[in-house]
Amino acid sequence: MKSDECLVVVDVQNDFIPGGALAVPAGDEVVPRINRLAAGFDNVVLTQDWHPRGHASFASSHAGKKPFETIELSYGAQVLWPDHCVQGTPGAAFHSELDITRAQLVLRKGHHRAIDSYSAFLEADRRTTTGLAGYLKERSLSKLFVCGLATDFCVAWTALDARAAGFEVTVIEDACRGIDLDGSLARAWSDMAAAGVKRS
């Protein structure tokens, strides 16, 4: 428990839990683990996937497209998802057993209709920032411990962008669960290792 350390809890929201619109297998298992972890940190930040209706990452926004297909958007390839984490809906809410009382910041991302954001730092156009790096730097939180859902999407992109922004980053594997779409989980771990993300 050090004052330069921060636990970053990624997207532990109902739609990513079994029964939700974009369920991550065994996603619920991270909840008690994260609650235990959070009790040991002075600094805790949560992220929340927070899309407007008709978001560009939803298959339903593109005629003839189905979830899990990939299309080209102005900024590049985009996987299409079922409608999920729509602002203000129960699916976008945090899991009811996630203990968020000690969280100091809830960073919402993916709120621009035309741009997705797996990363809590940089949106999918790779230009628009969320402001999180500035927040953490102003608070001198240089060592980040990342957990949550999903390992191979929002956790991995967040960890990679955190490294690129100069943070020391550890992903806590047993407090994450992945989607694993066409080998994405193995790819995420090798990309993170190559970028100097620690795995614990």
Positions touching Zn ion (CB under 5 A) are 49
Which entry of 6, 11, 147, 176 is annotated as an active-site residue? 11
- Concerning whether 154 is annotated as a catalytic residue, the answer is yes
Helices marked H in 89-196: 132-138, 156-164, 184-194
d(CA 184, CA 96): 28
| Least Cβ distance, residue 137 to ligand VGL (angstroms) | 24
Residue 130 DSSP one-character state = -
Three-state DSSP at 161 gives helix
Q: Pick the closer one to ligand VGL by CB: 12 or 133.
A: 12
Q: Pick the closer one to ligand VGL by CB: 33 or 139.
A: 33
Which entry of 15, 85, 109, 161 is annotated as an active-site residue? 109
- Concerning whether 109 is annotated as a catalytic residue, the answer is yes
d(CA 147, CA 38): 10
Binding of residue 149 to ligand VGL (CB under 6 A): yes
Residue at token pair 């926004």: 61
Bridge partners of 13? 94
Which residue in the set 44, 122, 124, 150 belongs to the binding site for ligand VGL (CB under 6 A)?
A: 150
- Concerning whether 176 is annotated as a catalytic residue, the answer is no
Which residue in the set 6, 12, 28, 49 belongs to the binding site for ligand VGL (CB under 6 A)?
A: 49
Answer whether the bond into residue 150 is a cis peptide, omega within 30°: yes
Residue at token pair 């299309």: 71
Chain contacts with ligand VGL (rule: CB under 6 A): 11, 16, 49, 81, 118, 149-150, 153-154
Catalytic positions, written as ranges: 11, 109, 154
